[in-house]
Amino acid sequence: MAGRVPKSRVARGGKLGRLAAEQAVRGAGTRISMIGRSDRARAILAERSTMQAAEQLVTVLGTMKGAAMKIGQMLSVLDLDLIPESHREVFRDKLAALRDQAPAAPFSAMRKVIETDLGPLSGIFRDIDETAIAAASVGQVYRATLRDGRAVAVKVQYPGVDDAIRADMRNLKFFGKLAAPFWPALKDNSIFDEIARNLESELDYEQESRTQHTVAQRYRGHPFITIPDSVVEHSSPRVLVTKLFDGIGFDHMRTLPDADRNRIGELIYRFYIGSMFSHNEFCGDPHPGNVLLGADGMVAFIDFGLYNRMDPVNVEFERSLLIAACDDRPEELYGLMVGRGIIDATSAVTPAECLDYVRSSAGWHLLDEELTITPELATGALVLAIDPRAAQFTGIRRQQLPAEHVFSRRADFFTFGLLGQLTSTNNWHRIAREWAYGDEPVTDIGRAIAEWRATVTDRTQ
């Protein structure tokens, strides 16, 4: 039935298992069929296999929604080493359908959710377009007009998606146990508990409404960034109403001139990375569907379901790591990681390896020169950090990342991936020094933001 989300762990785990098995068989069959073929034939077969795998991922993950579809959204940002390099662009484009063209649930099903939570549509909306303008992992978005004339976006949760996400998390723990021999850190369920806590927060639209209102107030009057305010009085646990922002999407941004992409990239970097150090909180879901560009050049950020507030002590720890790596102090970096329980002092991991690892996975913050971020560069950092197949840094990857840092690292990697999709250039280190060392801003954007902050009387900044 259209719009139905499979809920049970068995049903959803079975889909993932069949997907993995079918891809393995297809891959083996393709390799066998390539024996003795010409280069051109191998290229055609590789393309055909890639397209089939991408189509199947879109179908399976898109139908499942929930956490499984969130994985698809992540994959659409990064060129993970799943397929031959020559076909990764095709694969990424197909996966992007999970972000922009997710299988739509019928409005009749979504209307029931709205009216169950808020009452009859006519009591709140003057009109509502029954065609969704966006479909994501947890809900769909509709354009509407409130009875007072305000244009709004209405995000409605898929029926049954709450049970589906909880089933996904149980499956994720199961797959974590299977992967633990290759990635020992996955033995610790606290990581999965942290992921589950954050993903379940996406199900509470009432909380998201309050969060979005707070962040919108913080950015009110900002010279470059805008956050569409929520309409708190018309939001509920399964329905989120926000001010409508009419803007162009990320795919169009990628076609803009270098200067425009670099400007947007700096704002993305400041919003997703700088917020943690400036406010001890950050949006943990950087992906192309959550960034819009207005006709006036303002960059809007939407979707605050995965919003993480960190203990200032943990933020200071991450700042200390960044400074130790920037200042080339491997012994200090090693001591911090041992003290925090990331590195086992009895392991063979050395201070030099710690420094090399941080430079490889987070070097874009550390390199004091202009750097153009590409999808390949972003993917390389992620693979070195977590891929159990990579030979380099095996000792480091066998150590344990504390659960409270899982989503800050996720935000870091996927911001890197987002900037790679934009192919944005900047001296990221000089921007990062503002929150690492408290340096004065060196970019025009940074100086304009500093001037604006100096005029703000409401110290929510």
pLDDT digits (tens, 9 = 90+) for 413-431: 889 889 988 999 999 999 9
387-417 tens-digit pLDDT = 444 444 455 544 566 767 777 877 888 898 8
Q: What is the mean pLDDT of residues 77-92?
A: 56
* Alpha carbons 189 and 286: distance in angstroms, whole number: 24
Which pair of structure tokens corresponds to residue 134?
Answer: 């966006």
Q: What's the domain count of the chain?
A: 2
Confidence bin at 217 (pLDDT 50/70/90): very high
Min mean pLDDT across 89-93, 246-250, 450-454 is at: 89-93
Q: Could you tell me the pTM of the whole model?
A: 0.77
The secondary structure element, H or E, covering residue 416 is: helix 406-422
Quote the domain boundaries for residue 395. 247-461
Query: What is the predicted pLDDT for the residue at 340?
Result: 87
Confidence bin at 75 (pLDDT 50/70/90): low
- Tell me which of 52 and 45 has the higher pLDDT: 52
Confidence bin at 11 (pLDDT 50/70/90): low
Query: What is the predicted pLDDT for the residue at 432?
Result: 95
Mark which of 75, 99, 123 sits at the end of a domain.
99
User: What 8-state DSSP symbol labels residue 295?
Assistant: T
Confidence check: pLDDT of 286 > 70: yes
β-sheet bridge partners, residue 308: 282
* Alpha carbons 260 and 247: distance in angstroms, whole number: 15
User: Maximum distance among all alpha carbons in the chain?
Assistant: 73
What lies within 8 Å, CB to CB, of 209 at 6+ separation is 230, 231, 232, 235, 240, 241, 242
Confidence check: pLDDT of 260 > 50: yes
173-212 tens-digit pLDDT = 655 555 455 445 555 555 566 666 666 777 899 999 999 9
Mark which of 59, 79, 99 sits at the end of a domain.
99
* Alpha carbons 289 and 348: distance in angstroms, whole number: 42
Query: 30 lies in a domain?
Result: yes
The secondary structure element, H or E, covering residue 70 is: helix 66-75
Mark which of 64, 99, 134 sits at the end of a domain.
99
Query: 443 lies in a domain?
Result: yes
Query: 191 lies in a domain?
Result: no
Q: What percent of the chain has pLDDT over 90?
A: 43
User: What 8-state DSSP symbol labels residue 145?
Assistant: E
β-sheet bridge partners, residue 152: 144, 243
Other Cβ atoms less than 10 A from the Cβ of 355: the count is: 19
Query: 406 lies in a domain?
Result: yes
Among residues 128, 130, 133, the alpha carbon closest in space to that of 151 is found at: 128
Query: 190 lies in a domain?
Result: no
* Alpha carbons 26 and 48: distance in angstroms, whole number: 11
* Alpha carbons 281 and 304: distance in angstroms, whole number: 11
Q: Over the chain, what is the mean pLDDT?
A: 77
Q: What is the mean pLDDT of residues 142-170?
A: 87
What lies within 8 Å, CB to CB, of 70 at 6+ separation is 137, 199
Query: 187 lies in a domain?
Result: no
Query: 403 lies in a domain?
Result: yes
Query: 352 lies in a domain?
Result: yes
